[in-house]
Amino acid sequence: MKLSELIQGVEVLQSEGALSREVSSVCYDSRWCAKDSLFVAIPGLKLDGHRFVPQALKQGSRFILCERPVDAPAGVTVLRVKDSRAALGIIGKNFFRNPSSALCLIGVTGTNGKTTITYLLESVFRQAGYSPGVIGTINYRYGSKVREAAHTTPESFDLQGMLREMLDSGVSHVVMEVSSHALDQKRVDDCEFDAGIFTNLSQDHLDYHQTLEAYFQAKRRFFSEVLGRKVGGRKQAMIINGDDPYGRRILHEMPPSQALSFGLEGSCDIGATGFSFSLEGIEARIRTPRDTFPVKAPLVGRYNLYNILAAAAAAHALAIEYRAVQAGLLNLGTIPGRLEKVSVAGEPAVFVDYAHTEDALKKVIENLLPFKKARLITVFGCGGDRDRGKRPLMGRAVVTRSDLSILTSDNPRTEDPLTILRQIEEGVEKEGLTKYAIRDVRKGFSAKGYVVIPDRREAIREAIELADPEDIVLVAGKGHETYQIIGTEKFPFDDRDECREALKASGYGKGRWKKSLSRS
């Protein structure tokens, strides 16, 4: 493609060199550059792409797009722009011939629930006779192809390439998790969406956004700036959780003709009645402006009913019949690491969940408590090199709702695991609960408390060893992840496998708590 065609729509502040030459490829990492590549120099959080212009030229690049002057030899075209990251998205759309314009594209944003909603919609689309693709935290997939997810939402150029690949392979509908990082970095600005879903918002990612309000504004711009534009004449539905205070803020600002609310409180457009919950699933009657119909889904807890409502609202907005929603929910497969049960009858009810924020932990535990016959044991930690402010909040959320809390490592990354645990304990100590040594827990006790076991494998095995068949064990934080990050290295580690191994080794619990906790 000629450079002049590639940069259509890009606001170029200064141009030096020919624009009519052919560009062989586009790269934002100098290591990927080749003969006649266009290198886009992006200022990053840790590294500045402008530093790697010499390497890009050495690799064969003959076109440079940058935000500030760079040294380039004769024969190299240099384009200076205000925002090279924004330009990359436009270039990606042009290079891959705007694939989202020919797809039905749905974006899901919010703190919790994004992954589950993508699985729900994937199943609904399939039951409706469409060919779905999914881009999200767990993986990128369509048809029989599955690709590991490097980021929840790929970089803009890669995203456009993936959408083109899906379109060329016969995909008709794509549902995508849209992260706050992606919104802040304009990765999805050049996609043409048919609908956007807002799930909820609570504290997360403040290591990046600094304040909760800035985090919200990143999410908000999906509706005010990305969906708020007139694109291709298509109607873009804004599907908002009307029970969430941040959702109500968005609803107040958005055009009523585009907004569709869902919730269990108040007068939302999409709601539910007659709902019931069990460890086997959810039953409810869904109400939309068009239909009222019963549903069953193999999901646990009230918060998953919100995810179901979001999916039903999207189906309504896209004119998909309710029978496809019913069938999609009923035939839903396992959602990896989202309150995923890894035990069988006769064993403690052991669940693995991705909950890694205060709000998510509250919700997952509160949804398990009604099914507690004896005790709830929760294993959790906090990731390193991430929002430190949420650590004591997460600790307090767990210990006040669990009979025994086992504090352990998550992905410590480059932080000292013991330092992370100490910061979690700052929130725990304010509740006045007893800190036990593991040897004391094994002997039995009669009051709520917590144990600190830094090694995650040991923590999981101890939790299951302590559990009786009527207990519930929740292992939270890593969910679907198949690794643990220590330092800068990834080591194989899957909470689900660790739980299964621990269940085998424990003989399904040995009743080692000699004193029962109050079941009140």
Beta strand 37-40 with 349-353: parallel, antiparallel or unpaired?
unpaired
Q: What does the CA dihedral 417, 115, 502, 416 come to, rounded to 10 degrees?
A: 0
Q: Which pLDDT score is estimated for 511?
A: 44
Per-residue pLDDT tens over the stretch 184-224: 999 999 999 999 999 999 878 777 778 999 999 999 999 99
Q: Which pLDDT score is estimated for 230?
A: 60
Across the chain, mean pLDDT equals 93
Q: What does the CA dihedral 382, 385, 391, 394 come to, rounded to 10 degrees?
A: -40
Across the strands, what pairs with 350? 473
pLDDT band at 520 (very low <50, low <70, confident <90, very high): very low
Q: Which pLDDT score is estimated for 258?
A: 87
pLDDT band at 273 (very low <50, low <70, confident <90, very high): very high
Q: Which pLDDT score is estimated for 266?
A: 78
Q: Which pLDDT score is estimated for 513?
A: 42
**What is d(CA 229, CA 227) in angstroms, rounded to the nearest whole number?**
6
Q: What is the pTM of this model?
A: 0.92
Q: What does the CA dihedral 433, 438, 442, 443 come to, rounded to 10 degrees?
A: -70
User: What would the mean pLDDT of 50-58 be, rounded to a whole number?
Assistant: 97
**What is d(CA 447, CA 466) in angstroms, rounded to the nearest whole number?**
15
pLDDT exceeds 60 at position 509: no
Across the strands, what pairs with 80? 14, 66
**What is d(CA 390, CA 300) in angstroms, rounded to the nearest whole number?**
25
Coil/strand/helix, residue 84: helix
Q: Which pLDDT score is estimated for 516?
A: 39
Per-residue pLDDT tens over the stretch 286-342: 999 999 999 999 999 999 999 999 999 999 999 999 999 999 999 999 999 999 999
Written as one string, the DSSP assignment of 358-407 is HHHHHHHHHHHGGG-SS-EEEEE---TTS-GGGHHHHHHHHHTT-SEEEE
Q: Which pLDDT score is estimated for 455?
A: 98
Say which DSSP state 131 is in: -
Per-residue pLDDT tens over the stretch 423-460: 999 999 999 999 999 999 988 777 899 999 999 999 99
Across the strands, what pairs with 16? 78
Coil/strand/helix, residue 205: coil
**What is d(CA 106, CA 176) in angstroms, rounded to the nearest whole number?**
6
Per-residue pLDDT tens over the stretch 365-409: 999 999 999 999 999 999 999 999 999 999 999 999 999 999 999
Single-letter residue type at 437: A
Per-residue pLDDT tens over the stretch 78-103: 999 999 999 999 999 999 999 999 99
Percentage of the chain beyond pLDDT 70 is 97
Contacts of 455 (CB under 8 A, 6+ apart): 408, 409
**What is d(CA 489, CA 227) in angstroms, rounded to the nearest whole number?**
38
